[in-house]
């Protein structure tokens, strides 16, 4: 029997994560039954749970992957760009503002983020496991702000940790706004204001 390569195993694992992302986005954590996960991934429960211990482990792996993606965006472009991406994906746009052909992948990323926020409020065990990933995002945000401060591009009358927490609170507010299905038409201007508010003050 031919051995399965590491690349094939990684591809199968990613295939499961992609299908699970769509399923959790469409049905939420509780509604993502094993049968629905099978339908979304096109694989049997045995194949799915060969790679992930249970549904909780699958969701956590998915949320971890998305958290790393967010941290990468923060490191390169800042936390406000993460907010712009979430806003764009809520509208079915790509990260460059163009409409997606089907929008499924990006909207599902937003769905995962909304589900993470819900579970942080309702699931103490998940909240405890999530702390390390939250700390990673906070560290990436602070590091970028510190680089901006060193370059003279950041206001200097507010400490970096305060600015970082301010941006994180705005992010959570945006997620809650999108979760409630409230209008997003004016939010581009709001994010422009947020971005301007942390930059160097005019003399």
Tens of pLDDT, residue by residue over 140-199, are 999 999 999 999 999 999 999 999 999 999 999 998 898 888 888 889 999 999 999 999
Query: Which residues lie below 8 Å from residue 80, measured CB to CB, with a gap of 6+?
Result: 167, 191, 194, 195
| Digit-coded pLDDT (tens) for 125-141 | 888 888 877 888 889 99
Q: Give the CB-side neighbour count of residue 5, counting CA atoms within 13 A.
A: 3
How many domains does the structure of the chain reveal? 1
Note whether residue 35 is domain-resident: yes
Determine, yes or no, domain membership for 202: no
The domain that holds 35 is classified in CATH as 1.10.357.10
* Prediction pTM value: 0.79
**How confident is the model over 64-113, as pLDDT tens digits?**
888 888 889 999 999 999 999 888 878 776 544 444 434 344 445 677 88
Domain coverage including residue 31: 6-197
DSSP letter for 182, please.
-
Q: Do the domain assignments include residue 93? A: yes
Reported as a single tens digit per residue, the pLDDT across 25-60 is 888 888 999 999 999 999 999 999 999 999 999 999
In terms of Cα–Cα distance, which of 81, 112, 129 is closest to 18? Answer: 112
Residue 203 belongs to some domain of the structure: no
Task: Provide the b/e sequence for 150-171 (b: ≥16 CB within 10 Å).
Answer: eeeebeeeeebeebbeebeebb
From 149, 162, 164, select the one nearest 201 (Cα to Cα): 149
Residue 49 lies in a domain: yes
CB 51 within 8 A of CB 60: no
Residue 52 counted as domain residue: yes
């Amino acid at each position: 029997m031919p051995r399965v390569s590491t690349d094939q195993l990684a591809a199968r694992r990613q295939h499961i994560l992609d299908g699970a992302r769509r399923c959790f986005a469409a049905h939420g954590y509780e509604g993502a039954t094993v049968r629905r996960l099978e339908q979304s991934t096109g694989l049997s429960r045995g194949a799915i749970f060969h790679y992930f211990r249970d549904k909780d482990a699958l969701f956590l792996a998915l949320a971890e992957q998305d958290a790393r993606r967010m941290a990468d965006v923060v490191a390169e472009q800042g936390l406000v760009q993460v907010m712009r991406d979430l806003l764009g994906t809520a509208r079915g746009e790509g990260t460059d503002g163009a409409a997606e052909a089907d929008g499924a992948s990006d909207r599902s990323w937003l769905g995962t983020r909304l589900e993470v926020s819900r579970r942080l409020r309702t699931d103490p065990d998940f909240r405890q496991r999530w702390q390390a990933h939250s700390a990673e995002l906070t560290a990436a945000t602070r590091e970028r702000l510190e680089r901006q401060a060193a370059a003279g591009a950041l206001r200097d009358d507010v400490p970096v940790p305060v600015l970082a927490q301010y941006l994180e609170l705005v992010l959570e507010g945006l997620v809650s706004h999108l979760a409630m299905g409230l209008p997003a038409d004016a939010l581009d201007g709001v994010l422009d204001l947020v971005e301007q508010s942390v930059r160097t003050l005019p003399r």
